Amino acid sequence: MTEVTNQDLIQSLIEGFGEKIIIEHELYGLLTFETHKDIILDVLSFLKNDGPIKFNFLTDITAVHYPERKHGIAVVYHLHSMVSKVRIRIKVYIDEYHPTIPTATNLWKAANWMERETYDFFGVKFDGHPDLRRILNMDELGVHPMLKQYPLEDPNRVDKKDEYFGR
């Protein structure tokens, strides 16, 4: 069995999806690429079932808020092939004012809670998710606290005042 390289993986992705695959980088050997939300399920399915490496484990789904960019939210998927010992990162940029993307729960059951957490903290709605509701924050919260328009800490906290620390 020959070892599959990142270049082999890139080649198979480009053959299958063409211009809808944009290679970002290979920092520390971790291949990172960008694709579009209209084909994300096809790309994930290919990587899990049909590609040169079978990425059988969904490590994480999360998001990053980039308010200064045109498409303000990146949904990030981390996949791992336990057999080949290879990891990969996929990013999909979506509109922060209409943050929707298809659910991956049909491919990996573990996506259920990961997508709920991403919805809870970033407001990303996963179309087709079987039970999309908050998982860690209160239902009454009314905001998605990891969006950068919200401060990291409550400015009214008295235990964080500089004068208490001699500053």
The domain 6-143 belongs to what CATH superfamily? NADH:ubiquinone oxidoreductase Nqo5 subunit (3.30.460.80)
- pTM of the prediction? 0.88
What pLDDT is recorded for position 28? 85
Residue 73's pLDDT band (cuts 50, 70, 90): very high
Question: Is the separation of the CB atoms in 76 and 95 below 8 Å?
Answer: no
Domains of the chain, by residue range, sit at: 6-143
What pLDDT is recorded for position 166? 64
Q: Which residues contact 11 (CB under 8 A, 6 or more apart)?
A: none
pLDDT, the chain, mean: 90
Residue 29's pLDDT band (cuts 50, 70, 90): confident
What pLDDT is recorded for position 94? 97
Q: Which of 33, 135, 130 is nearest to 89 (CA)?
A: 33
Starting from the edge strand earliest in sequence, which strands make up the sheet with 22-25, in order? 22-25, 31-35, 86-94, 73-81, 57-65
Q: pLDDT tens digit string along 32-59? A: 999 999 999 999 999 999 988 899 999 9
